[in-house]
C-alpha cells in the first residue's frame, strides 16, 4: 500500500491501485482520463479536492459504480484516515483491491451498506 497516494477525487483507492506505479493521480496533469473524467471536472469546477467534500448525493461518472460510491460514502461518514486505516488492515489480512485487472475483493458487492461494512470489518 502506498498510503501517501490516498484516495482519488472519485473515491477510488489510488493507494492500492495496481496502476499507481505509472499513474501520477488526478491532479498531476498527466492523468490519461483527465479530458473525460466527469468526477474530476465536477470537483475542480466546485473547487473541492474530492467528491466526498460535496454536499450532493450524486452518481455521476465513476460514482455510478458501487465501489467508488461506497468509498466516497465511507469517507463522508468516517473520514479519509479511517478508510486508509481499514484498507491497510484489510490488505494485510489478504483482501485484494485489484485481483484480476481492476477488479478485486471490493468489487463483488451490489449493496453500498454491505460494502461499507466489509471495509470496516474485513468480513462478509
What is the pLDDT at residue 29? 77
Q: In terms of residue numbers, what domain contains 8?
A: 3-121
Helices and strands, number each (H, E), in the chain:
4, 0
The strand ranges marked E within the chain are none
What is the pLDDT at residue 39? 95
What is the pLDDT at residue 26? 83
DSSP structural state of residue 100: B
57 vs 20, 31, 52, CA distance in Å? 28, 25, 9
What is the pLDDT at residue 5? 87
What is the spatial distance between Cα 119 and Cα 123, in angstroms, rounded to a whole number?
8
* HSE of 21, CA atoms in CB hemisphere, 13 A: 1
What is the pLDDT at residue 33? 80
Number of structural domains found in the chain: 1
* Tens-level pLDDT at each residue, the chain (124 residues): 999 889 999 999 989 988 877 777 888 877 778 788 999 999 999 999 999 999 998 999 999 999 999 999 999 999 999 999 999 999 999 999 998 888 899 999 999 999 999 999 999 8
DSSP structural state of residue 37: -
Considering only the C-alpha atoms of the chain, give the largest distance between any 2 of them, rounded to a whole number of Å: 38
Residues facing 103 on adjacent strands: 100
Amino acid at each position: 500500500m502506498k498510503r501517501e497516494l490516498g484516495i482519488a477525487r472519485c473515491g477510488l483507492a489510488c493507494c492500492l491501485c495496481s496502476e499507481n506505479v505509472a499513474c501520477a493521480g488526478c491532479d498531476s496533469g498527466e492523468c490519461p482520463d483527465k479530458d473525460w473524467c466527469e468526477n474530476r471536472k465536477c470537483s475542480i469546477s466546485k473547487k473541492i479536492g474530492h467528491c466526498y467534500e460535496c454536499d450532493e448525493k450524486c452518481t455521476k461518472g465513476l460514482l455510478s459504480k458501487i465501489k467508488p460510491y461506497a468509498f466516497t460514502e465511507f469517507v463522508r461518514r468516517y473520514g479519509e484516515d479511517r478508510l486508509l486505516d481499514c484498507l491497510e488492515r484489510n490488505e494485510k489480512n489478504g483482501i485484494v483491491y485489484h485481483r484480476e485487472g481492476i477488479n478485486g475483493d471490493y468489487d463483488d458487492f451490489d449493496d453500498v451498506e454491505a460494502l461499507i461494512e466489509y471495509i470496516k470489518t474485513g468480513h462478509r
